[in-house]
Structure 1
Amino acid sequence: MIRRKLALGLASALALTACDMAPKYVRPALPVPSAAPQGPAYGTTTGAMATDTAWADFFTDTRLRTVIRTALDNNRDLRIAVANVAQARSQYRVQRADLLPAVGATGSATYQKSPVGAVGGGAVGGVAGSGRFDVYAANVGVSAWEIDLFGRVRNLTKAAQEQYFAAQENRNAAQTALIAEIATAWLTMAADQERLRIARDTQTAFGRTLELTRARFDAGVSSELEVRQAQTSFDQARSDIADATTLVAQDQNALNLLAGTTLGADLLPSELGDAKATLDNLPADLSSQVLLRRPDIAAAEHQLIGANANIGAARAAFFPNISLTAAFGTLSLGLSNLFANGSEAWSVAPTATLPLFDFGKRKGNLRYAEATRDAMVAQYEKAVQTAFREVADALARRGTIDGQVEAQTSLRNNARGAFTLSEARFQSGIDPFLTTLDSQRSLYAAEQSLLASRLARQANAIELYRALGGGL
């Protein structure tokens, strides 16, 4: 009967914890246009959403996919993000435990001896006439459990849960950023490898021109000025080779850092080439609602919801704090009688406390929680605006990059044809040497520009994939 009453009392206390002082959460309106921008810089394409396209499907180069897998396993920044998730999950579990009473068992023994006159003489629980008391007790109960009538503990638990969810989304954002960064670094190394090859080929061509010019100078046909002009072009190519060699080494170091280990030579690119390393089927006509699927925006919203819950906890502090201490067990004056009939004992001690004068402490906590919520609203809105800008910029680059690559390809082809013609005319004595040298320099610059445009097209596809929340 006593157990039933105690259980009913605890159940009633749990049923009372239904009041929530937190303001109702309403997602802020998106502070951006409802659709992606339109204009001459933006194309219109359709395809699968980035968030619905796994990174292993988006990247088509086998070596690049292997490098990304290696990075996901070994990158230290991603490991830190995973550890942050584990920390937030543990903190949430600690806070959630306060919702339920912590049940504990205690056992105690008290030995006391008093003068016979003080206890009235006789044999009581010990040696006759000694005035000795041996008291044994065993209890199971709860101690100082807060009955959450006004939702303080539940809102604190909600805030901890949202911090956990935010940590998970931050980990997802870290993975998305890592995939985009390592793919861009891999393609940059491919471009630098090709830049090094172009510089070497150009040095060879300039070297032949320099030898021809010197031979003509020795024969009295060319001037010293022409020799020095040819020498400057040859030296520039030598300088570009040294610079490109350094960039390739630095690119490899960057890839090793991102991958978290030293990559084998078989995984490194040799040239950028014309083949695309990614899919080209991401849509351009997008609703702003797709931004909500980005992990960084989801993390910002979880932070906002958690701040909203903290307001509820601060408000609940203005109401009485009710706690309960209860125990059920046995009590006897002899160890052999500890669990005998009639030895049952129980106690229930509810406590209510309400600070009367705290000199503005609770009000200050509430104002702080409200200000934090307002800051989180602004951070959420800024995250949305930043995401919209990143997507818009990527779409603007995507809408024009194919035309730029096409124009640069035509420029390179025409520069190559012009050099071939000018070289033939120079050897025939029709054009001066300076025309040939300028054509050769123009071809070199055109090849460099075409390479930069092809790299920009590849990098833009990766950036659009990241900006749309892909990579999970």
Structure 2
Amino acid sequence: MIKMKKILSTHIFFLSSLLWHGCVHPRDNYSDPLLESGIPKQWEAVDLNNSLSQDKNLTYWMDSFENEWLNEAVYTAWSTNPSLVALAEQTLAVGEEAVITGASILPQANVGANGSKSKRNLIGFNFPNGSTSFTSESFTSGINLSWEIDLWGKLRDQKNSAKKRFEGSQYDYEGARLSLAGQVAKAWYGIVESEQQLQLSKQMTVTFKKNQVFIANRFANGLASALENDLATSALASSQATETMRERIQNTQVKELESFLGYFAKGSLDHNFSDSLPKLDLSPFPPTPAQVMQNRPDLLAARLQLEASGYDLSVAKMNLLPSISLTGGPGSRSEEFGDLLNNRFRTWEISGGITQPLFNGGRIRANIRRSQALKKAAEANYRAVALRAFTEVETLLANESFLQQQEEYLQIASLAAQTAAKTSWDRYQRGVQGIFDTLDSQRRAFEAESRLLDTRKDRIFNRINLFLALGMPALPIEP
């Protein structure tokens, strides 16, 4: 009869559990919303771009520039940039939070010992020749075990959510490393271009200085008008102003690079900057959109945040279910401290409890609605990150072709303008052409060369941004 009651009680318990479990929707199976909606199979700009290489063997995009000094600068930034160091420590902290959250699924054990001494008065008892009070001592020791049984998988989902967020923070850190490498590379070649622009402006100043001296001598001898002298003086002052502007820009760029490297800004770096911008080869053939989804750290982080929000929603729903816990453990109790290790004074205790939420002012239901909203927000953010990523790649791929054509046209324009400037100066010296047209042709020659340098820099920047948009790694983690 007793055995029958035990079996009946067990069945009632499990039937109740199934009924409670039916009140909660099953855990949502994760599916990638981008794959369901259908992502492009290929980039539209690939068909329009004839400046792509078919070589797909490029592993680290920094290798395409073949600059050991730049590689060293990137490794320096990765190790000393304070913002990146702070993010690394924050990522470690998120990892420890995941460990803390995951520990709740395991039993907890604590060991301890206690002692007490008490005095009691025997008032109302008339013992002849007896004491009216007595003292007692008590000592206990043992291991206290506690365990919340994860019957519904709530603790497991909490652990998985924390794990996903930690993995997402790792990708955030990888994205920051990749972005910092791109910033260092662009700052580096920005300084190289700025140095070339500065040398060009100095060359322009020298040219206009010679012009001004030549025309001033002619003006002093009555062979040139005051207008010609003023125009020459104005051209010289303008070129000197341009030279000063280029020095200011270069100083700012150097300080920016110093900040990326974790240095205090001084405006001077002891690095071997090359005298010219690198000549770019054809851009490597890009990976497919599906491959970019697996490469870009921001996309991977957003997807993991979406998965974590799904686990959070599951946990919020399972808060409606009862929680079951066990406590107890072995120990010992004695009036003498030295007897605590004696087997005769061994004790044990075990107890169980079940807690079911009944009334909480609607907090649990509100938390479910909150988790649902956060999951929808995470999904929308994932789509937004993907849309931004695909737009960046398409735009940068198209720019590869545009900038290449622009550089070719400016190369022709620069050579033609230099030839025209020399011809114009010869014509002025022979008195065939006026000074205004001569100075204007010289200015155009320098401007064409300056635009060519700027376009070459833009091509390099666009190439770096394309590598970042594709999620390609910059360098190995260690030199």
Q: TM-score, normalised by structure 2?
A: 0.86
How far residue 191 of structure 1 moved from its aligned partner, in angstroms, is: 0.9
CA deviations 1:347-367 (Å, max 9, x no partner) are 111111112111211000011
Aligned match for 1:37, one of 39, 44, 55:
44
Say whether the 8 Å CA contact 1:151–1:312 is kept in structure 2. Answer: no
Q: For 2:75, what is the secondary structure of its paired residue?
A: helix
Task: Look up the equivalent residue of 2:107 and give its one-letter code.
Answer: P
CA deviations 1:360-383 (Å, max 9, x no partner) are 110000111111111010111111
Alignment partner of 1:98 is 2:101? no
Task: Give the Cα separation in 1 of the matches to 2:434 and 2:123.
Answer: 134
Q: Residue 69 of structure 1 corresponds to which residue in structure 2?
A: 75
Aligned match for 1:467, one of 466, 469, 473:
469
Aligned match for 1:245, one of 244, 247, 256:
247
How far residue 179 of structure 1 moved from its aligned partner, in angstroms, is: 0.5
Alignment partner of 1:47 is 2:49? no
1:81-120, aligned counterparts within 5 Å?
A: 81-114=87-120
Identify if the C-alpha distance between structure 1 residues 120 and 149 changes in structure 2 by more than 3 Å, giving closer, same or farther: farther
How far residue 267 of structure 1 moved from its aligned partner, in angstroms, is: 0.7
Task: Give the Cα separation in 1 of the matches to 2:49 and 2:303.
Answer: 32
1:295-314, aligned counterparts within 5 Å?
A: 295-314=297-316
How far residue 119 of structure 1 moved from its aligned partner, in angstroms, is: 11
Identify if the C-alpha distance between structure 1 residues 279 and 119 changes in structure 2 by more than 3 Å, giving closer, same or farther: farther
Q: Residue 387 of structure 2 corresponds to which residue in structure 1?
A: 385
Say whether the 8 Å CA contact 2:142–2:329 is kept in structure 1. Answer: yes
Say whether the 8 Å CA contact 1:42–1:395 is kept in structure 2. Answer: no
Q: Residue 84 of structure 2 corresponds to which residue in structure 1?
A: 78
How far residue 294 of structure 1 moved from its aligned partner, in angstroms, is: 0.7
Aligned match for 2:433, one of 431, 434, 439:
431
How far residue 199 of structure 1 moved from its aligned partner, in angstroms, is: 0.7
Task: Give the Cα separation in 1 of the matches to 2:126 and 2:261.
Answer: 84
How far residue 130 of structure 1 moved from its aligned partner, in angstroms, is: 7.1
How far residue 393 of structure 1 moved from its aligned partner, in angstroms, is: 1.5
How far residue 47 of structure 1 moved from its aligned partner, in angstroms, is: 2.7
How far residue 414 of structure 1 moved from its aligned partner, in angstroms, is: 0.7
How far residue 399 of structure 1 moved from its aligned partner, in angstroms, is: 1.7
Identify if the C-alpha distance between structure 1 residues 118 and 344 changes in structure 2 by more than 3 Å, giving closer, same or farther: farther
Aligned match for 1:356, one of 331, 334, 358:
358
1:385-424, aligned counterparts within 5 Å?
A: 385-424=387-426
Aligned match for 1:136, one of 131, 134, 139:
139
Task: Give the Cα separation in 2 of the matches to 1:47 and 1:390.
Answer: 22
Alignment partner of 1:269 is 2:277? no
How far residue 232 of structure 1 moved from its aligned partner, in angstroms, is: 2.1
Q: For 1:267, what is the secondary structure of its paired residue?
A: coil
How far residue 36 of structure 1 moved from its aligned partner, in angstroms, is: 1.1
Task: Give the Cα separation in 2 of the matches to 1:364 and 1:449.
Answer: 60
Q: Residue 13 of structure 2 corresponds to which residue in structure 1?
A: none
Task: Give the Cα separation in 1 of the matches to 2:123 and 2:334.
Answer: 23
How far residue 69 of structure 1 moved from its aligned partner, in angstroms, is: 1.7
Identify if the C-alpha distance between structure 1 residues 212 and 132 changes in structure 2 by more than 3 Å, giving closer, same or farther: closer
Task: Give the Cα separation in 2 of the matches to 1:442 and 1:152.
Answer: 72
Task: Give the Cα separation in 2 of the matches to 1:120 and 1:175.
Answer: 85
Q: For 2:424, what is the secondary structure of its paired residue?
A: helix
CA deviations 1:138-174 (Å, max 9, x no partner) are 211213x321212222222212112211111111111
How far residue 257 of structure 1 moved from its aligned partner, in angstroms, is: 0.5
Question: How many percent of aligned residue pairs carry the same amino acid?
Answer: 24
How far residue 451 of structure 1 moved from its aligned partner, in angstroms, is: 0.7
1:183-198, aligned counterparts within 5 Å?
A: 183-198=185-200
How far residue 213 of structure 1 moved from its aligned partner, in angstroms, is: 2.0
CA deviations 1:53-112 (Å, max 9, x no partner) are 264x34411221222121111111111110111110111111111111111112223434
Q: Residue 448 of structure 1 corresponds to which residue in structure 2?
A: 450
Q: Residue 148 of structure 2 corresponds to which residue in structure 1?
A: 146
Q: For 1:261, what is the secondary structure of its paired residue?
A: coil
Q: Residue 218 of structure 2 corresponds to which residue in structure 1?
A: 216
How far residue 116 of structure 1 moved from its aligned partner, in angstroms, is: 6.6
Alignment partner of 1:160 is 2:162? yes
Q: Residue 175 of structure 1 corresponds to which residue in structure 2?
A: 177
Question: How many pairs were matched up?
Answer: 445
Identify if the C-alpha distance between structure 1 residues 337 and 195 changes in structure 2 by more than 3 Å, giving closer, same or farther: closer
Task: Look up the equivalent residue of 2:206 and give its one-letter code.
Answer: T
Identify if the C-alpha distance between structure 1 residues 279 and 129 changes in structure 2 by more than 3 Å, giving closer, same or farther: farther
Alignment partner of 1:28 is 2:36? no
Identify if the C-alpha distance between structure 1 residues 107 and 204 changes in structure 2 by more than 3 Å, giving closer, same or farther: same
Task: Look up the equivalent residue of 2:340 and give its one-letter code.
Answer: L
Task: Look up the equivalent residue of 1:164 and give its one-letter code.
Answer: F
How far residue 281 of structure 1 moved from its aligned partner, in angstroms, is: 4.8
Q: For 1:29, what is the secondary structure of its paired residue?
A: helix
Please identify runs of 4+ aligned residues in structure 1 that moved more than 6 A: 116-121, 127-130
How far residue 322 of structure 1 moved from its aligned partner, in angstroms, is: 1.2
Task: Give the Cα separation in 1 of the matches to 2:287 and 2:51.
Answer: 8
Task: Give the Cα separation in 1 of the matches to 2:239 and 2:124.
Answer: 110
Say whether the 8 Å CA contact 2:74–2:181 is kept in structure 1. Answer: yes
Task: Give the Cα separation in 2 of the matches to 1:313 and 1:129.
Answer: 60
Q: Residue 9 of structure 1 corresponds to which residue in structure 2?
A: none
Task: Give the Cα separation in 1 of the matches to 2:283 and 2:124.
Answer: 95
Identify if the C-alpha distance between structure 1 residues 397 and 246 changes in structure 2 by more than 3 Å, giving closer, same or farther: same
Say whether the 8 Å CA contact 2:51–2:282 is kept in structure 1. Answer: no
Q: For 2:330, what is the secondary structure of its paired residue?
A: strand
How far residue 43 of structure 1 moved from its aligned partner, in angstroms, is: 4.1
The alignment's C-alpha RMSD in Å is 2.7
Say whether the 8 Å CA contact 1:41–1:397 is kept in structure 2. Answer: no
Alignment partner of 1:324 is 2:326? yes
